[in-house]
Amino acid sequence: MNRIAFILHGKVRHRMQVSKKLAGLFKTDFDIRIYTTTAPLEAEYLARQAIDEGCEYLIAVGGDGTLNEVVNGYMKYSGKKKRPVIGVLPWGTGNDFARGVGIKRSFEQLSGLIRNHSVRNIDAGILRFNDPDGGERVRYFDNIADLGMGADVVGRVNGVNLRKRILGSTLVFFLSVLYTFITYRHKRVQVTWGDSSWQGPMLAIIVANGKYFGSGLGIAPDASLNDGFFELVILGQVRVLDYLKNISKLRRGIKIDHPEVYYHRTAKVRVTMDGDVAMVESDGETEGMAPVEFECLKGVLPMLIPAF
């Protein structure tokens, strides 16, 4: 009997009801294991444990951050067991990866994807940066990584769990973006990809495998999950007024027509700082500090997703 491992974020709403629903839906035809996180980054460890215990399907139940940790556990697994198929039941704050591939908060859709073995091989991103002690650190991402204002927004949003529950994630993201725009100081960077480069004050550098981030902002309309390339988006001297004018376009996944917004297609990117400090985030989780290198790994993630 095939085994499904569910990595359940310990703070999802109605956690016990979700667990019971999953068990009831699959127990007749599958061996079910539910692992619940109790601390940050624990989903990564639990994913490796689930693979070691022989799961065929590895499902993240949570938001983009939970899926990111499961992906890191999968990519860093060094054991001898056969690697499973990865899936997600979106139950978090942003759910931007799920939004981009048409996955809903639906037990029935998840059941259909598993029973039909609806698997697509997609790309993953790897980012390399230095720890404070000077050693290199490696992280993987399935959706989007960025540095600059976006990482500052993520840090602010992740620190206001109560407000997210009261106001809703989309409004909290919007207010956090506005506040960060008001307080953010543009940072000087150099971005290098292939034989090209860009240097100057930036609002944000976005390295996109998927199309959406920030709870529904279609920042990278041309991004594709399975072409072996990122969509690199550079936001230079962009003001808060420019953001407000274009937010409706972002929500509809339309490119911004602005002299300080640049779009490029590349498989590798390097970002260095010119005397400033900038945080790096991926899939809604803060990771470290620039300088940082990004590389697209083609087709390394077998994912349960609808056709795209």
**Structural domains present in the chain:** 3-92 (3.40.50.10330), 125-300 (2.60.200.40)
Average pLDDT, the chain: 89
| pLDDT confidence band for 155 (50 / 70 / 90) | low
Q: Are the beta carbons of 250 and 208 closer than 8 angstroms? A: no
| pLDDT confidence band for 230 (50 / 70 / 90) | very high
Q: Is the pLDDT of residue 68 over 80?
A: yes
DSSP characters over the chain:
--EEEEEE-TTSTTHHHHHHHHHHHHTTTSEEEEEE--STTHHHHHHHHHHHTT-SEEEEEESHHHHHHHHHHHHH--SSSPP-EEEEEE-SS--HHHHHHT--S-HHHHHHHHHTT-EEEEEEEEEEEE-TTS-EEEEEESSEEEEEHHHHHHHHHTT-HHHHHHH-HHHHHHHHHHHHHHH---EEEEEEETTEEEEEEESEEEEESSS-BTTTB---TT--TTSS-EEEEEE-S--HHHHHHHHHHHHTT-----TTEEEEEESEEEEEESS---EEEETTEEEEESSEEEEEEEEEEEEE----
Q: Range with the lowest mean pLDDT among 4-8, 35-39, 89-93, 177-181? A: 177-181
Q: Percent of the chain at pLDDT above 90? A: 69
Tens-place pLDDT, residues 260-276: 999 999 999 999 998 78
Name the token pair of 215. 């709870």
Q: Range with the lowest mean pLDDT among 2-11, 51-60, 105-114, 279-288? A: 279-288
Report the pLDDT value the prediction gives residue 162, as an integer from 0 to 100. 38
Kindly list the strands in the beta sheet with 144-148, ordered across the sheet, starting from the edge strand earlier in the chain.
261-266, 230-235, 204-208, 144-148, 279-282, 285-289
Q: Are the beta carbons of 226 and 120 closer than 8 angstroms? A: yes
Question: Given its phi and psi angles, is residue 275 left (phi above 0), alpha (psi -120 to 50 degrees) or beta?
Answer: left
Q: Are the beta carbons of 34 and 22 closer than 8 angstroms? A: yes
Q: Tell me which of 137 and 229 has the higher pLDDT.
A: 229
Instruction: Report, as an integer, the average pLDDT of 296-307.
Output: 96
Q: Is the pLDDT of residue 214 over 60?
A: yes
Instruction: Report, as an integer, the average pLDDT of 206-231.
Output: 95
The separation between CA 13 and the C-alpha centre of its own chain, rounded to angstroms, equals: 20
Q: Is the pLDDT of residue 174 over 70?
A: no
Q: Are the beta carbons of 75 and 140 closer than 8 angstroms? A: yes
| pLDDT confidence band for 18 (50 / 70 / 90) | very high
Q: Is the pLDDT of residue 172 over 70?
A: no
Report the pLDDT value the prediction gives residue 167, as an integer from 0 to 100. 44
Instruction: Report, as an integer, the average pLDDT of 98-124.
Output: 96
Q: Which span out of 50-59, 170-179, 235-244 was modeled with the highest average pLDDT?
A: 50-59
pTM of the predicted protein model: 0.91
The count of other CB atoms within 10 Å of the CB of residue 197 is 10
| pLDDT confidence band for 14 (50 / 70 / 90) | confident
Q: Is the pLDDT of residue 131 over 90?
A: no
Report the pLDDT value the prediction gives residue 163, as an integer from 0 to 100. 42
Q: Is the dihedral of CA 34, 32, 117, 109 positive or negative?
A: negative
| pLDDT confidence band for 170 (50 / 70 / 90) | low
Report the pLDDT value the prediction gives residue 12, as an integer from 0 to 100. 83
Tens-place pLDDT, residues 143-154: 999 998 877 676
Report the pLDDT value the prediction gives residue 158, as an integer from 0 to 100. 56
Cα–Cα distances in angstroms (integers) from residue 205 to residues 60, 148, 189, 231, in the given order: 27, 7, 9, 11
